[in-house]
């Protein structure tokens, strides 16, 4: 329907000027390379050079001795991590909380924006959007304070509604739900921004035509909006998969109690405590590195699924 207007991969290949040598093409684009200079330089300095420091995961890093002067300890820190009493629990919890988060937090902004986009009362639409987006500004500390209040067995709203007296914060079965549901509450509206902006791109003519065809709202959503959103959604999915193992440490930390650790003990909290609070930089780097490795595996899986489902270009 729209491929005629957009550049598809095939279209652009045809558009590439044939017959020009590589040197010529490089020359043609010198301005673009110049533009790219600044971000490339910054990325090399602040992203790539620090990667050299990852070696502290294999050393007993002492600042006064520098990277190379610090003793090489091989896999010592990794072994130490794997022999810590809660290591497997942390890995399991991190993977599970990440996957469930993705499963729930990913579709909800899409559904919300499809609905909001179809609202015809302009003022109402504005109000909905602004309110949905507001929780994004609440600091984690306050969110967790509110969760405590709402879930409290003595006078908390949820227990009043359910007519129970359960301390959900000490129930390990409830932890993931609390974490994920509050995350959705906080960020679903924020996640809508990008989708609504994409939907704003739909040609109003299409809606007009659909109306003439007597298509219902749901048909319009299905036939016009969803195809429009799909590429962005897939893109977001792949990117979310890249951040899968980055469980927000502060929130978990504030919601953790001694009795829900069976599900709330995660790597991120451990890395923070070891690395930033106790300044065991080598150890925390090693654990962080392991976390990244797991993440990359998960990313490859999601990427595979996503790219099979669509032809969205990521690289």
Partner 1 sequence: MGGMSALSRGYDGHEVLDALQASAGVKINWETMSDSLAEQVNIRITGGQYPDAFMGVGFSNYDLARYGDDGTFLDVTPYLTPDIMPNLCAILEEHPEIRAAITQEDGKIYGLPAGEQMTTAGIGAPMEEAFSIFSVPQYSMINKAWLDDLGLAVPTSLDELHDALKAFKDNDMSAKYYGNAAGTTLPMTTGFDEWCWGQNIFYSGFGFTNWPNDVINDLHLKSDGTVEFVCVSDAYRDCLTYFHDWYAEGLMDVEMFSQSDSQLIAKCQQGYVGVSAWWYIEELMGEYAKDYVFLPPLTGPKGTQYENTRGVTIRPGSPITSGQLNITNKCKSPINLLRFYDLWYNGETVMQLQYGPIGVFFTNQDDKGMWMAITEAEAQAKYGKSAGEVRNAYETMGPKLILAEYYSKVFYMEDRAIERLTDLDQFWMPYVEDTTFYPVDCVFTGMEMETIDWHKADFEAAVKEQEGLWLRDGGPTDEEWQAYKDRLSKKCGMDDLLQVYQDAYDRYFAAE
Partner 2 sequence: MTKEKSLSTGMSERTSDIILVAICAVVLVIVAYPLYYVLVASFSDPYEVYAGKTFLLPSGFTLDGYKAVFAEKNIVSGFLNSVKYTVIGTIFSVVMLYVTAYPLALRDLPGRKALSIFFLITMYFGGGLVPTYLVVKSTGLTGSMWSLFLPGGVAVGNMIIVRNYFQNSIPHDLIEASEIDGCSKLRTFFSVVIPLSMPIIAVMVVFSMVAYWNDWFTALIYLGGKGTPLPLVMRNILIKSSASASQAATISGGYAELNKLTELLKFCSMIVAAVPMLVIYPFFQKHFEKGFMAGAVKG
What's the min distance (Å) between Cβ of 52 and partner 1? 16
Q: What are phi and psi of 204, to 5 degrees?
A: -60, -25
What's the min distance (Å) between Cβ of 235 and partner 2? 6
- CA gap 260, 213 in Å, rounded: 55
Q: Binding of partner 1 at residue 153 (CB under 8 A)?
A: yes
DSSP designation for 17: P
* Selected binder of partner 2 within 45, 226, 301, 309 (CB under 8 A): 45
Q: How many residues bind partner 1 (CB under 8 A)?
A: 26
- CA gap 189, 187 in Å, rounded: 5
Q: How many CA atoms lie within 13 A of 225 on its CB side?
A: 23
Q: Token pair for residue 23? A: 């040197």
Q: Binding of partner 1 at residue 139 (CB under 8 A)?
A: no
243: Cβ contacts below 8 Å, ≥ 6 apart: 295
User: Which parts of 173-192 interact with partner 1 (CB under 8 A)?
Assistant: none
* Selected binder of partner 1 within 6, 277, 308, 315 (CB under 8 A): 277
Contact code string over 292-311 relative to partner 2, x by CB under 8 A: x--xx--x------------
- CA gap 146, 159 in Å, rounded: 14
Judged on CB neighbours under 10 Å (0-12, 13-18, 19+), 67 is: middle
Q: Is 59 helix (H, G, I), strand (E, B) or coil?
A: strand
User: Which parts of 251-280 interact with partner 2 (CB under 8 A)?
Assistant: 275-276
> Which does residue 84 bind out of partner 1, partner 2, none, counting CB within 5 to 8 angstroms by kind?
partner 1
- CA gap 303, 200 in Å, rounded: 27
What's the min distance (Å) between Cβ of 308 and partner 1? 42
Q: Binding of partner 1 at residue 258 (CB under 8 A)?
A: yes
Q: Binding of partner 1 at residue 276 (CB under 8 A)?
A: yes
Q: Binding of partner 1 at residue 148 (CB under 8 A)?
A: yes
What region, left, alpha or beta, does residue 14 occupy, with left being phi > 0 and alpha being psi -120 to 50 degrees?
Answer: alpha
> Which does residue 173 bind out of partner 1, partner 2, none, counting CB within 5 to 8 angstroms by kind?
none
From 29-37, 159-167, 196-204, 300-308, span contacting partner 1 (CB under 8 A): 159-167
> Which does residue 299 bind out of partner 1, partner 2, none, counting CB within 5 to 8 angstroms by kind?
partner 2
What's the min distance (Å) between Cβ of 171 and partner 2? 19
User: Which parts of 184-243 interact with partner 1 (CB under 8 A)?
Assistant: none
155: Cβ contacts below 8 Å, ≥ 6 apart: none
> Which does residue 50 bind out of partner 2, partner 1, none, counting CB within 5 to 8 angstroms by kind?
partner 2
* Selected binder of partner 1 within 12, 64, 139, 201 (CB under 8 A): 64
Q: What are the DSSP calls for 172-220, one per residue?
A: HHHHHHHHHHHHHHHHHHHHHHHHHHHHTTS-HHHHHHHHHTT--HHHH
Is the Cβ of residue 50 or residue 74 nearer to partner 2 in the bound state? 50
Residue ranges binding partner 1 (CB under 8 A): 62-65, 80, 83-86, 148, 152-154, 165-167, 169-170, 257-259, 261, 276-277, 279, 281
């Amino acid at each position: 329907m729209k491929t005629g207007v957009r550049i598809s991969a095939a279209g652009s290949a045809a558009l590439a000027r044939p017959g020009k040598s590589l040197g010529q093409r490089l020359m043609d684009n010198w301005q673009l390379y110049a533009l790219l200079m600044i971000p490339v330089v910054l990325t090399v300095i602040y992203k790539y050079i620090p990667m050299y420091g990852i070696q502290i995961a294999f050393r007993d890093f002492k600042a006064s001795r520098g990277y190379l002067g610090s003793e090489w300890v091989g896999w010592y820190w990794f072994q130490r991590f794997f022999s810590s009493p809660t290591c497997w629990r942390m890995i399991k919890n991190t993977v599970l909380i990440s996957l469930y988060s993705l499963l729930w937090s990913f579709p909800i902004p899409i559904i919300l924006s499809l609905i909001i986009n179809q609202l015809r009362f302009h003022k109402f639409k504005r109000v909905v959007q602004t309110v949905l987006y507001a929780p994004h500004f609440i600091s984690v500390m306050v969110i967790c304070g509110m969760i405590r209040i709402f879930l409290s067995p003595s006078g908390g709203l949820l227990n009043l509604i359910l007519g129970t007296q359960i301390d959900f914060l000490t129930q390990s079965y409830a932890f993931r739900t609390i974490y994920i549901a509050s995350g959705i509450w906080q960020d679903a509206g924020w996640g809508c921004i990008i989708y609504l902006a994409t939907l704003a791109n739909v040609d109003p003519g299409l809606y007009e035509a659909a109306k003439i065809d007597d298509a219902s709202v749901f048909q319009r959503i299905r036939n016009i909006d969803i195809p429009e959103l799909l590429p962005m959604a897939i893109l977001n999915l792949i990117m979310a998969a890249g951040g899968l193992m980055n469980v927000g440490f502060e929130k978990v930390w504030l919601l953790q109690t001694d009795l829900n650790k069976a599900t709330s003990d995660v790597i991120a909290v451990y890395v923070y405590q070891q690395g930033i609070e106790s300044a065991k930089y080598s150890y925390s780097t090693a654990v962080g590195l392991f976390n990244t490795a797991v993440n990359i595996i998960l990313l490859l899986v999601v990427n595979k699924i996503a790219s099979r489902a669509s032809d969205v270009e990521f690289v």
